[in-house]
């Protein structure tokens, strides 16, 4: 007999838009995702109109393996993150 793992529980957090349309993520989410001030996120709208937030850092680290052999002496991912943080400081 094969045992199945219990269904993954989806965690939900209430968030609110402020008067200018900004969202504040709960501290637990920030900690769990290792997000820091200035980190960039990508908001994806799925076909069913659900929203998904993806850390740009996480997305970049997934690409790290693909680009690793192209320029072994430099980190394109680190350069991208540095550029994005500089842009965020100027916004």
Gap between the Cα atoms of 34 and 88, Å rounded: 18
With a cut of 90, say whether residue 7 has pLDDT above it: no
Whole-Å CA distances, 23 to 31, 41, 78, 91: 16, 12, 27, 17
Beta bridge pairs of residue 53: 43
Instruction: Report residue 51: phi and psi, to 5°.
Output: -110, 145
Supply 82's token pair: 């540095």
Give the global pTM.
0.51
Q: In the 8-state DSSP scheme, what is residue 74?
A: S
| pLDDT given at position 76 | 73
Q: Where are the domains of the chain?
A: 27-90
Per-residue pLDDT of 26-80, as tens digits, reads 999 899 888 888 888 888 999 999 998 888 877 777 776 665 666 667 777 888 8
């Amino acid at each position: 007999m094969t045992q199945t793992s219990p269904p993954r529980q989806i965690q939900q957090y209430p968030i609110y838009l402020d008067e200018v349309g900004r969202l504040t993520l709960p501290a637990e989410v920030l900690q769990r995702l290792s997000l820091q001030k200035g980190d960039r996120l990508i908001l994806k709208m799925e076909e069913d109109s659900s929203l998904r937030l993806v850390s740009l850092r996480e997305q970049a680290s997934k690409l790290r393996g693909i680009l690793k052999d192209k320029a072994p002496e430099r980190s394109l991912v680190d350069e991208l993150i540095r550029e994005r943080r500089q842009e965020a400081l100027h916004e």
